[in-house]
């Protein structure tokens, strides 16, 4: 049973446009969500997070939106750059102090120059 | 400040053998977690160590075991290897509560034949 789902295995976006990556979850106990970026041959790198008490968190070009009632979150990248091309993982935890991340399968973003 | 380093980067083992993977935590980090990432999947939590004690475990059988040493480096041991154990094994360390502080290593690619 997959508790964190990223239903789009891949996404292609033109440079300068918006990239929207989606994530759904089923476990209502999750209360902290994170996005990681992973380049080939490297480990995942933390990108941005959001607590369930918020519906939006912004950091530069990256914004994460959380819709608790729909159990859905999304990552917006504006404007998209070729260096953003990577695999993006959505992850969730029960309790921000927990270390046990539950990951989705990832979405491979390709930003086309 | 050095990051998280894992060794070896790649290795091939035969079914039924035993393997030990190593992780050097980032300086100052006292918590380490291990994740298994099968091909096409997101990382899956194996277990976590804090101050040399296991204090969290995912849905993995007992043949997956670990150690954390006084210098906070860590080992992941897998006995009686199975073909399905073929995966990328990621180590992550942190110095503070909460997954936002995770730093991942680049992983060890294990192939079981």
Average pLDDT, chain B: 91
Q: Which chain A positions have a beta carbon within 8 Å of B45's beta carbon?
A: 100-102
Report d(CA A106, CA A35) in Å as an integer: 10
Mean pLDDT of A57-70: 97
User: Quick check: B8 pLDDT over 90?
Assistant: yes
The pLDDT of residue A26 is 97
CA-to-CA separations, A60 to A23, A48, A64, A65, B20, in angstroms, rounded: 20, 10, 11, 14, 41
Q: Which of A49, A46, A93 is nearest to B4 (CA)?
A: A46
Query: pLDDT tens for residues A4-44?
Result: 999 999 999 999 999 999 999 999 999 999 999 999 989 99
Give the rounded percent of residues in chain B with a pLDDT score beyond 70. 93
The pLDDT of residue B27 is 79
DSSP structural state of residue B26: P
The confidence band for B86, taking pLDDT boundaries of 50, 70 and 90, is very high
**Shortest Cα–Cα distance, A29 to chain B (Å):** 16
Beta carbons of B42 and A103 less than 8 Å apart = yes
The pLDDT of residue B89 is 98
Q: Which bin fits A61, alpha (ψ -120 to 50), beta or left (φ > 0)?
A: alpha
Give the rounded percent of residues in chain A with a pLDDT score beyond 90. 87
Q: Which bin fits B62, alpha (ψ -120 to 50), beta or left (φ > 0)?
A: alpha
The confidence band for B1, taking pLDDT boundaries of 50, 70 and 90, is low
Average pLDDT, chain A: 94
A50 touches B at CB < 8 Å: no
A interface test, pick of B95, B99, B106 with most A CB neighbours within 10 Å: B99
b/e per residue B25-64 (b: at least 16 CB within 10 A)? bbeebebbbbbbbeeeebbbbbbbbbeeeeeeebeeeeeb
Query: Which chain A residue has the Cα nearest residue B97?
Result: A97
User: Quick check: B2 pLDDT over 70?
Assistant: no
Beta carbons of A34 and B99 less than 8 Å apart = yes
Which residue would you say has higher pLDDT here, B31 or B87?
B87
Beta carbons of B99 and A4 less than 8 Å apart = no
Q: Which chain B positions have a beta carbon within 8 Å of A45's beta carbon?
A: 104
Mean pLDDT of A96-106: 86
Mean pLDDT of B76-90: 98
The confidence band for B99, taking pLDDT boundaries of 50, 70 and 90, is low
A7 touches B at CB < 8 Å: no
């Amino acid at each position: 049973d997959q508790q964190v789902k990223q239903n789009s295995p891949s996404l292609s976006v033109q440079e300068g446009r918006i990239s929207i990556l989606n994530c759904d979850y089923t476990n209502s106990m999750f209360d902290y969500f994170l996005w990681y970026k992973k380049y080939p041959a490297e480990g995942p790198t933390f990108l941005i997070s959001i607590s369930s008490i918020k519906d939006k968190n912004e950091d530069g070009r990256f914004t994460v939106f959380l819709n608790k009632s729909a159990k859905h979150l999304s990552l917006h990248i504006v404007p998209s750059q070729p260096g953003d091309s990577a695999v993006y993982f959505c992850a969730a935890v029960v309790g921000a102090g927990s270390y046990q991340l539950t990951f989705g399968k990832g979405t491979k973003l390709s930003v086309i120059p | 400040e050095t990051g998280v380093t894992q060794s070896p980067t790649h290795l091939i083992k035969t079914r039924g053998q035993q393997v030990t993977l190593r992780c050097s935590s980032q300086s100052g980090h006292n918590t380490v977690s291990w994740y298994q990432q099968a091909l096409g999947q997101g990382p899956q939590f194996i277990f976590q160590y804090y101050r040399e004690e296991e204090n969290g475990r995912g849905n993995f059988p007992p043949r997956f075991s670990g150690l954390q040493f006084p210098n906070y480096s860590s080992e992941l041991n897998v006995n009686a290897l199975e073909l399905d154990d073929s995966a990328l094994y990621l180590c992550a360390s942190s110095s503070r509560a909460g997954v936002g502080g995770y730093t991942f290593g680049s992983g060890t690619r294990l192939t079981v034949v």
